[in-house]
Structure 1
Amino acid sequence: MALSWQSLIDRITNLAKNQRQKKRGTEFLADTVALILFFTTTGIINERMIAGMSWDQVLHARLIGAALMIPVARPYGIWRDWLMQRANPSRGSQLLWDSMALVSFQVPIYAAIIAFSGATGGGLVRGTLGAALMMLFLGRPYGAFLNWVRKLFGLPPGGDKPMSLDS
């Protein structure tokens, strides 16, 4: 059975398309794993020690948080990569842009999570401000952790341009 040139081109095109789809799935998985691992840990600390939430409320917040992290992780990764294009190689610039990315994207989501989980009034304000401060300081450590997880998944670290636009 002889292949026509068009048939060969179609097969190569389909193979390339499948590779791009597989890469997008890997990007989604890597960003989701990183976000869930990192922020489940830091969320528990903030909710219990700073917001003063009960263990039941913390559990509720973490379950909601994990469920919300699944659809939010990859868009955050794209947002971070887009903002990190503005960073230069200096530590200060990396810290600034990673922190700005995290605070601007995650704090509003976090405030909604703890409000829905029972934080009210002063606890809600303290929890949101605590999260904002934590995320300000954790922006770069999380960015480095995200890059490390991406590397484990065989992906580039991001920051040059959104990985989903590479292909």
Structure 2
Amino acid sequence: MRAFIADTVALVLFFTVLGALNEHYVAGMAWSEVARSRAIGAPLMVLTARPYGVWRDWLMPGLTPPLPRLATDALSLLIFQVPIYAAILWLGGASGAGILKGAAVFSLMMMVVGRPYGVWLDFVRARFGLGPGGMKPMTLGD
């Protein structure tokens, strides 16, 4: 349960801010649309935070090495989060062009923020008395 809470707190805090800025300034959504998409996104983040943590923890040992943690964190975010984010934009009322533009920029952002989020996730996990992810296989019961 601690792993679920830690992963959820880390994801919700980090990506609520990042998503809102992207939606308003890049996808061109009005603040009311941003609020709606964040309201839709929050429950989705709660539902996907721990599965993402498990996904990242499973992916890390297989790719690090040969890939550095920087690349593995970026790749894990890109594959897992971008499809979810595109759905959030669609449900939030973004136009087709806005969804494509927002998802494309979000993809680039995942490449840039992958490692910072990995560091943040490990930091939050440590506050909950958990070790960093990606060092050993983890299960939903951790």
- Given the two structures, how large is their TM-score scaled by the length of structure 1? 0.80
Query: Which residue is 2:83 aligned to?
Result: 108
Contact 2:54 2:140 in 1 (8 A): no
Q: Deviations over 1:50-92 (max 9, x none)?
A: 000000110011111111011100000000011111213x9x7
Residues 1:93 and 2:65 aligned together: no
**Shift, 1:166, TM fit:** 8.5
Q: Which runs of 5+ in 2 are unaligned?
A: none
Query: What is aligned with 1:81?
Result: 57
RMSD of aligned Cα (Å): 1.6
Aligned to 2:96: 121
Q: Given the alignment of the two structures, is residue 30 of structure 1 paired with residue 45 of structure 2, yes or no? A: no
Q: Percent identity?
A: 52
Larger Rg: 1
Higher relative contact order (CA 8 A, sep 6+): 2
Q: Does 1:133 align with 2:70?
A: no
Give unpaired runs (5+ residues) of structure 1. 1-24
Amino acid at match of 1:61: S
- The equivalent residue for 1:41 is 17
Select the residue among 120, 133, 136 that pairs with 1:161: 136
Quick one: which amino acid aligns to residue 33 of structure 2?
Q
Which of 29, 48, 60 lines up with 2:36 in the alignment?
A: 60
Write the distance in 1 (CA, Å) between the matches of 2:91 and 2:84: 11
Q: Equivalent residue of 1:164, what SS? A: coil
What is the identity, as a one-letter code, of the residue corresponding to 2:37? Answer: A
| In structure 1, C-alpha distance between the alignment counterparts of 2:24 and 2:141, rounded to whole Å | 40
What is the count of residue pairs matched by the alignment?
Answer: 141
1:130 Cα shift?
A: 1.1
Identify if the C-alpha distance between structure 1 residues 36 and 166 changes in structure 2 by more than 3 Å, giving closer, same or farther.
closer
